Chain A
Amino acid sequence: MKNVLLRPRISFFDMAGCEGCQLAILDCEDIFLELVDLVEIVEFREAMSETAPRFDIAFVEGSIHREIDADRLRDIRARSRWLVALGGCACHGNVQARANGWSPAENLQRVHGLDTVHRVQTDNRYWPLWAHTRVRALHEVVKVDYLLRGCPVDRDEFLHLVKRLLAGSRPGFAAQPVCVECRRHGHECVFLHGETCLGQVTWGGCGAVCIAGGYRCDGCRGLLPNANLASHRQLLRERGLDPKTIDQRYRLFLSGEITAQDAPDEQ
């Protein structure tokens, strides 16, 4: 029973992200008050102003862009028993990782024009937030104990993780594609309706909410281990997507995980 936590101290932190995952957690209204009774929330900028020196579970949202953020993350790691990557940005870089496809100077020029590039080079007081070198997921900087995937995170997975840690057992998230969710819910495959989807190569656990809502899967939960990308790329081609569109589809959420080898058509 030594693993059972008595009123664990929980904290939330945000790096580069939209804070939507923290909102998704505040959205667990029906159960949040009960949960608050069992845990002690010691740091949560989205909901309170206090800070704390140590905690049992640190939830960190967002991706790491600057070295100062990496240092902050290392500090959080050192103060927490468990560290949980909260959401797609923290787990795999999410949409921000698209920037990794080009050099920082190129990105700066694309977004803010050539003047900005020159200014970064010549003005030592000017170092904008976006002049990072590489977008990193948390696990590229520190050891991450658990990943809560998705954009935003799934509330049931969040509750599963917290309850498991409270009960002193291990949270588990199966490496299964979104297709499993669709079939369990009885959805017919969107490919049968002429749509194309990234579900076969994407981590499930989301309840296939996007497909249930009449959309497709764009892969926000990250690339499944050993995903058969060669076959998937071939399938998308057969369904009429040109190589550029296919790359765009992969790069929307999966830039942090798709390597150059996986994306041979990338120019």
Chain B
Amino acid sequence: MAVYLVERSVFLEWIGMLARHERVYFPQPVSESSFRFNRVGSRSLLALEDFDDSSRVKPFRASACVPPPVRSLAPDNELLFTFRRDKAGDCLLAPVLDNSRRILAGVRPCDLKAIALMDRFQRAGIPDPYYLARRDHTLIIGHDCLQPCDEYCFCEAAGSLAWREGADIFLTPQPQARLLVEPLTDQGAVLLADAGFPICEDVKGCRARAAARRATPFGRRFAAPLAQVMQVVAGSWDSAVWEQHADRCFSCGTCNLVCPTCSCFDVRDDFNVEDPGSGRRTRRRDACMLEDFAEVAGGHNFRKSTAARQRHRVMRKFVYLPDRFGGTAFCVGCGRCRRQCTVAIDIFDIATDLLAGAGEGT
């Protein structure tokens, strides 16, 4: 497949052109420091950081987008189906699947990995048709990171920085405000074929330039390899660390709700006023840190203490889901949970403390 070397402004113009007749999502500013993957129009402000940009906090970077891009594939409050009762009293359901084509552009490696992991998760067991309908009609344009987002990023330690799977096109910043534009799938190649971008003569050289420019170490590092971290977390059921990170927790659910690999939801039925036999079912994101998450009929709560919920959240990222899906950590190291937590509870710190505790034990 042909690889292109394009001026960044030309590429962004092309995205704007695409947005005229396609549904394109790109990080859009909603405040000074906050961005969202919103649908863009041909006149939207589109920007990507420069090759030489090494300032610490960057707009348009993955983590600045509080709702991760994977939420575009499972939006909050999505309509699942409408229902009504016919004359015989049978309930008729009409599912609502979103099969419209969309392009997610500017997705960073951590979020690429999150989407790839959620693809596996949603296809397994009882597949989620709502997520998959959107996913199967989504084209993703990824973008490399040469600098960590900020002091909370640990994507390299979490094994996400080199992630490419799931991207149809991948962009790498180059000197002189240019981008290396690589199609990674046939769909990506087809989209780029008509763009008229100049072919890159030295792909290896371009990749090497970016690799040389990349910060090392990239973000925070665990004191041990990721596999060992995961092993330690798995053996930490009775650790005192869980309590230490629960004292100041509000159980507000923010860490779950901003996590790109959290997908739990709650459903709600709304009846039509004129005919209570008809209505709609919607679903919204739920969060296992909320106190009532594991409460069941009769009022029993399986995870009543904050520490138990905290343990569950961390175990799910480093143990439960990796065990089911090929051993890859479901924490992608984006740092969103830490950044949005008002009392600075940090999954990186929890893992680090568990690791230190395990070290003392041996």
Which residues of A approach B to under 8 Å, CB–CB?
4, 31, 34-35, 37-38, 159-160, 163-164, 166-168, 174-177, 179-180, 182-189, 191-193, 199-201, 225-228, 231-232, 234-235
Which one, B139-147, B157-165, B244-252, B314-322, is touching chain A?
A: B244-252
SS of A interface (majority) = helix
- Residues of chain A within 8 A of B340, CB atoms compared: 183, 188-189, 192
A163 near B276 (CB under 8 angstroms)?
Answer: yes
The answer to whether B250 touches A176, judged by C-beta atoms less than 8 angstroms apart, is: no
- Contacts known (A177-B250, A228-B251); A200 close to B342, Cβ less than 8 A: yes
Q: Is the CB of A179 within 8 A of B292?
A: no
Asked if residues A4 and B276 are in contact (CB atoms below 8 Å), the reply is yes
Given A176-B292, A184-B285, verify A163-B271 contact (CB < 8 Å).
yes
Partner of A179, one of B33, B253, B271, B339: B253
Q: Determine if B67 and A186 form an interchain contact, defined as CB atoms under 8 angstroms apart.
A: yes
- List of A residues within 8 angstroms of B34 by Cβ: 187-188
Interface contact A231-B276, CB-CB below 8 Å? no
Q: Is B212 an interface residue (CB 8 A)?
A: no
**A177 in contact with B33 (CB, 8 Å):** no
Indicate if B343 sits at the interface (CB-CB under 8 A).
Answer: yes
Contact of A180 (CB < 8 Å), options: B248, B257, B342: B257
Given contacts A38-B273, A174-B292, A200-B342, contact A184 B77 (CB under 8 A): yes
B274 close to A34 (CB less than 8 A): yes
Q: Do B250 and A232 touch (CB < 8 A)?
A: yes
Which residues of B are found within 8 Å of A174, using beta-carbon distances?
266, 290, 292
A4, A38, A177: the one within 8 Å of B252 (CB): A177
Q: Once bound together, how far apart are the Cα atoms of A222 and B306, in whole Å?
A: 21
- Chain A residues lying within 8 Å of B135, measured Cβ to Cβ, are none
Assuming A34-B273, A163-B271, is B253 touching A186 (CB within 8 A)? Answer: no
Number of interface residues of B (CB under 8 A): 38
User: Complex Cα distance A227/B250, Å?
Assistant: 7
Provide the main secondary structure of the chain B interface. Answer: loop
List residues of B whose CB falls within 8 A of some A CB.
30-34, 36, 66-67, 71, 76-77, 247-254, 257-258, 266, 270-271, 273-274, 276, 284-285, 287, 290-292, 306, 339-340, 342-343
**Chain B hits for A228, CB < 8 A:** 248-251, 306
Q: How long is the Cα–Cα vector from A186 to B306 in the complex, in angstroms? A: 24
Q: Which 3 A-B pairs have the closest CB atoms?
A: A183-B257, A179-B252, A167-B276
Task: Let me know if B290 and A176 touch, CB within 8 A.
Answer: yes
A226: chain B residues within 8 A (beta carbon): 251, 291
Are A200 and B250 within 8 A (Cβ)? yes
30 contacts between A and B (CB under 8 A): A34-B273, A38-B274, A159-B273, A166-B276, A177-B252, A179-B250, A179-B253, A179-B254, A180-B254, A180-B257, A183-B253, A183-B257, A183-B285, A185-B76, A188-B33, A188-B340, A189-B254, A193-B32, A200-B250, A200-B252, A200-B342, A225-B291, A226-B251, A228-B249, A231-B247, A231-B248, A232-B250, A234-B248, A235-B248, A235-B342
